[in-house]
Each structure stands twice: as structure tokens, then as C-alpha cells.
């Protein structure tokens, strides 16, 4: 019997997945939760064979959670499958770094998900077809730590002076970071830079 925990914040999808997985004779859904914190608690207490994790969840996202599971000595045999809407290279990279066993898009059929669960139990790794392509086309995030930070703040609508107050930098420095971020992302304005960075999953 494959024991599974489902962490997905969208109730309709979570309920539907749980309902359908219950029809599989070899699968048992031991818990279904809607946020990262609750997921972490139930994973520790239940020690499931497989965790299905959404990325965007309250309190703790699926990638951070995957990282925590991988570095916990008691959870070495627990397989991790990320299930997400987003085909962002940045997300995929983080998932690979966290050594997840599967990375599926919500745009896959459920049968593929079920099949994938059985595969990761056997020690195989699974990845959505669409994503296998982005793996090869993968672009490294060209932004430095500070550039990323500054751009993230710019995204939330802060002006240069507000950003420099936030990070205890001078205006000039912040403008320099934004300038180089804009150039690295081949954009012309901060807005465009923000758009591409979001789209690539870099901020």
C-alpha cells in the first residue's frame, strides 16, 4: 500500500485528487492539507511514502517544504512529487536542487499523476514532457543576490528611494542595481525587467 499526503491549497482540486486516488487499490491517502505548515507537521507524524506538493501555498511553499523533507534524516525514504501550474525554469531548478522525485504540471491528466506515483515508488524520476524541454533550454538566472532583491522590491511598487530605505543603501546604488538588472534581462524599463524576471521565475 502506497501511503500518500496531498498538500494543495485549492480545495476543489485537492478534494478531486483525493477522491480519485481512493479508487486506486494500492494507494491510500493518509492526509490532505491546504498549506505548507500543516503539510510539514503531518508528514513528520505520518511518515508517508509519497508527498504530492503544490508550489504556491500559504505559510510555506512546496519548494521550501521539499528542501526540508530532503534534509530531514527521518524522511530519507519519503518520495517528493511537485505538482504545479507553472512551467517556470526557476522553479524547476530549485526543485532539481532539492532532489525531488517528480515534477508534474497540473496540465497533465490524472492518470499520468497516478502512474507517476507508482514510478517514484520504484525509484524512478518523473517529469512532465513540456518541462523536459525547458530543462535543456534552461537559462541561468543572471541576476546577483542584490539585483534580485532590489527587483523584487521594485515589483511590489516601491520607488527607488523606498527601496534604498528598505535595504539601507544609497539611492545611487539602488539605481545601479536596477540598471544592471534591466540590462541583464535585456529590457528597457524596470517594469519590463520585472515582467521577464517573474515569467522566468527568478523573483
Q: Which residues pair with 84 in a beta bridge?
A: 105
Q: Which x/- pattern, by CB under 8 A, does the window 15-54 give for its own copies?
A: xxx-xx----------------------------------
Q: Which stretch binds its own copies (CB under 8 A): 6-14, 47-55, 59-67, 92-100?
A: 6-14
Q: Which x/- pattern, by CB under 8 A, does the window 109-148 give for its own copies?
A: xxx-x-----------------------------------
74 near its own copies, judged by CB under 8 A: no
Please report how close the Cβ of residue 160 comes to DNA at its closest, in angstroms.
Answer: 3
Given the rule CB under 8 A, which residues bind its own copies?
9-13, 15-17, 19-20, 83, 85, 106-111, 113, 154-157, 159, 187-192, 194-195
Amino acid at each position: 500500500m502506497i501511503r500518500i499526503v496531498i498538500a494543495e491549497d485549492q480545495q476543489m482540486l485537492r478534494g478531486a485528487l483525493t477522491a480519485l486516488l481512493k479508487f486506486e487499490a494500492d494507494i491510500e491517502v493518509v492526509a490532505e492539507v491546504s498549506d505548507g505548515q500543516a503539510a510539514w507537521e503531518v508528514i513528520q507524524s505520518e511518515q508517508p511514502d509519497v508527498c504530492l506538493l503544490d508550489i504556491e501555498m500559504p505559510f510555506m511553499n512546496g519548494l521550501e517544504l521539499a528542501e526540508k523533507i530532503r534534509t530531514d534524516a527521518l524522511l530519507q525514504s519519503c518520495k517528493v512529487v511537485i505538482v504545479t501550474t507553472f512551467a517556470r525554469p526557476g522553479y524547476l531548478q530549485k526543485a532539481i536542487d532539492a532532489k525531488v522525485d517528480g515534477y508534474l504540471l497540473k496540465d497533465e491528466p490524472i492518470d499520468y499523476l497516478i502512474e507517476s506515483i507508482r514510478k517514484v515508488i520504484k525509484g524512478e524520476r518523473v517529469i512532465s514532457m513540456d518541462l523536459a524541454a525547458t530543462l535543456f533550454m534552461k537559462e541561468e538566472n543572471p541576476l546577483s543576490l542584490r539585483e534580485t532583491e532590489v527587483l523584487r522590491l521594485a515589483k511590489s511598487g516601491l520607488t527607488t528611494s523606498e527601496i534604498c530605505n528598505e535595504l539601507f543603501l544609497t539611492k545611487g546604488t539602488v539605481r545601479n542595481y536596477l540598471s544592471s538588472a534591466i540590462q541583464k534581462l535585456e529590457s528597457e524599463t524596470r517594469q519590463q525587467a520585472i515582467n521577464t524576471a517573474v515569467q522566468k521565475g527568478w523573483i
